[in-house]
């Protein structure tokens, strides 16, 4: 097998179980790909090849613990992993002491026999200021943010799976820009213990993969539940399509991606019905911004007040409004959030999932421009499960995805619809 790093996660795990591949060979293949490519892509914040190889050897010496036994994964660098410092894209922590513990999600993955390959690049505190990562499809372009390293590493075949987080659009948008699958589960499904907080009401741990089935399996492990094995046998899937409050902020390329996805889904036998979102969503985008800004200002209290000289100007400018925001304004935004969450379930009662563009367009032509979360922020605020599905290309011949959204708690159905749509878009 010449390039095991090209394998999907479940495919590689099946070969490991069958004795046709080892975790060590897979890890070494990923490390070789990193050696060849990452000086250009810049997806990794920290690597310890000897440690990863030793972990892989240990996994090869035991019986499989799960369907992803022996599979390496990347960890976004706001998430704790034992033996690695959690630098969070900030000079404040670049010389921090390596962690003595794992975040809950990382511990669950390791308990399932998976191997930490390293820490992936994040923007500063998972907000706006970009890191070193470039889009592997075109190095002059952005990989998105803030889970930039996770998306780029998976897209460039440097690792089959990676963990990201989303507060606005930081799993789904970089997945769209880099042409991979992103899955943001229902809010709170994957534990956040050991993850640097930005917004307690919005932060959601998610995953990146190169296919929907791998994403579903990995998310199950991080949640600590039996692995969800998807079936592509859909009986005439029913999608809703909505021009959300973000529609006018999306590019013509994003509009076209949405229309193309609808046409392909209908041609393959799906029902796609255009609907209007309820009035509860009218102020949703602005409410999400208020919640994130208010909570981020407080979550970063130590860094902003005790190490202000080591916080970027961009970050200070971004959240300074949070110090001036009245509690009553924040409470109003939380009430809007509650209204949107309550409205989403009955809205989708007659549909399997909602379909919308996954990003404002193709990746920006400036690596320091992480792009806008405007296409994703509403769904993050509702706590809904969202799957970013690749397969389309924009006018610049760069990836552009769509997102499949379900009501909270219906992640399996949402993933099943995404799996079906992924098969349609990839043809």
Distances (CA, A) of 321 to 73, 158, 159, 324, 372: 37, 39, 38, 5, 18
Task: Name residues whose C-beta falls within 8 Å of residue 141's C-beta, 6 or more positions apart in sequence.
Answer: 134, 135, 177, 362, 363, 364, 365, 366, 367, 398
Give me the residues paired with residue 293 across strands.
none
Q: Which domains does the chain have, with CATH numbers?
A: 9-223 (3.90.1300.10), 238-275+353-425 (no CATH)
pLDDT value, residue 317: 84
Catalytic member of 90, 105, 142, 146: 146
Distance (Å, whole) CA 402 – CA 191: 26
Is the pLDDT score of 299 beyond 80? yes
Tokens 């999608």 label which residue? Answer: 239
Is residue 230 exposed (0-12), middle (13-18) or buried (19+ Cβ within 10 Å)? Answer: middle
> What kind and span of H or E run contains 238?
strand 238-242
231 noted as active-site residue = no
Distances (CA, A) of 13 to 17, 69, 119: 6, 6, 22
Distances (CA, A) of 69 to 48, 62, 275: 20, 10, 43
Is residue 136 a contact partner of residue 155, using CB atoms and an 8 Å limit?
A: yes
pLDDT value, residue 233: 66
The per-residue pLDDT for range 242-272, each reduced to its tens digit, is 999 999 999 999 999 999 999 999 999 999 9
Catalytic member of 66, 90, 170, 175: 170
Cis peptide before 132 (omega within 30 of 0): no
Verdict on whether the full-model pTM lies above 0.95: yes
Catalytic member of 5, 29, 66, 76: 76
Is residue 322 a contact partner of residue 296, using CB atoms and an 8 Å limit?
A: yes
For the segment 176-193, the average pLDDT, to the nearest whole number, is 98
Alpha helices for 3-113 (secondary structure H):
9-17, 23-41, 49-60, 104-111
> How confident is residue 411, by pLDDT bands cut at 50, 70 and 90?
very high
119 noted as active-site residue = no
For the segment 125-129, the average pLDDT, to the nearest whole number, is 93
Distance (Å, whole) CA 427 – CA 424: 6
Distance (Å, whole) CA 172 – CA 169: 6
pLDDT value, residue 236: 83
The per-residue pLDDT for range 317-351, each reduced to its tens digit, is 887 778 889 999 999 999 999 999 999 999 999 99
299 noted as active-site residue = no
Distance (Å, whole) CA 172 – CA 365: 19
The per-residue pLDDT for range 55-64, each reduced to its tens digit, is 999 999 999 9
Distances (CA, A) of 422 to 11, 137, 196, 330: 17, 20, 32, 38
pLDDT value, residue 234: 66
């Amino acid at each position: 097998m010449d390039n095991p790093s090209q394998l999907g996660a479940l495919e590689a795990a099946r070969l490991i179980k069958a004795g046709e591949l080892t975790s060590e060979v897979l890890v070494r293949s990923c490390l070789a790909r990193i050696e060849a490519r990452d000086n250009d892509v810049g997806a990794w914040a920290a690597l310890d090849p000897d440690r990863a190889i030793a972990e892989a050897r240990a996994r090869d010496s035991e019986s499989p613990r799960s369907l992803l036994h022996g599979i390496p994964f990347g960890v976004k660098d706001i998430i704790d992993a034992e033996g690695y410092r959690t630098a969070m894209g900030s000079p404040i922590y670049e010389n921090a002491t390596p962690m003595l513990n794992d975040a809950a999600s990382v511990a669950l993955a390791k308990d399932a026999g998976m191997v930490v390959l390293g820490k992936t690049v994040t923007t500063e505190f998972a907000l706006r200021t970009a890191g070193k990562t470039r889009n592997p499809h075109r190095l002059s372009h952005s990989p998105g943010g803030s889970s930039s390293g996770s998306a780029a590493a998976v897209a460039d075949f440097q690792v089959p799976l990676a963990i990201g987080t989303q507060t606005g659009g930081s799993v789904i948008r970089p997945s769209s820009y880099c042409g991979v699958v992103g899955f943001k589960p229902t809010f709170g499904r994957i534990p956040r213990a050991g993850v640097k907080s930005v917004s307690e009401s919005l932060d959601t741990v998610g995953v990146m993969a190169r296919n929907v089935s791998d994403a579903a399996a990995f998310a199950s492990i991080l949640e600590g539940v039996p692995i969800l094995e998807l079936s592509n046998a859909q009986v005439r899937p029913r999608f809703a399509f909505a021009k959300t409050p973000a529609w006018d902020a999306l590019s013509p390329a994003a509009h076209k991606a949405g229309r193309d996805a609808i046409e392909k889904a209908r041609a393959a036998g799906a029902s796609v019905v255009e609907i209007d979102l309820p009035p509860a969503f009218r102020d949703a985008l602005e409410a999400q911004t208020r919640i994130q800004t208010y909570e981020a200002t407080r979550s970063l209290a130590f860094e902003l007040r005790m190490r202000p000289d080591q916080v970027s100007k961009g970050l200070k400018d971004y959240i300074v409004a949070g110090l001036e925001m009245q509690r009553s304004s924040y409470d109003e935004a939380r009430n809007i959030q509650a209204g949107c969450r309550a409205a989403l379930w009955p809205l989708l009662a007659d549909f399997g999932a909602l379909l919308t563009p996954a990003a404002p367009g193709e990746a920006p032509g400036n690596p320091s421009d992480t792009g806008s979360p405007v296409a994703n922020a509403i769904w993050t605020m509702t706590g809904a499960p969202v799957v970013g599905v690749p397969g389309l290309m924009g006018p610049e011949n760069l990836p552009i995805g769509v997102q499949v959204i379900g009501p909270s708690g219906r992640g399996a159905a949402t993933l099943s619809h995404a799996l079906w749509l992924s098969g349609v878009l990839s043809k």
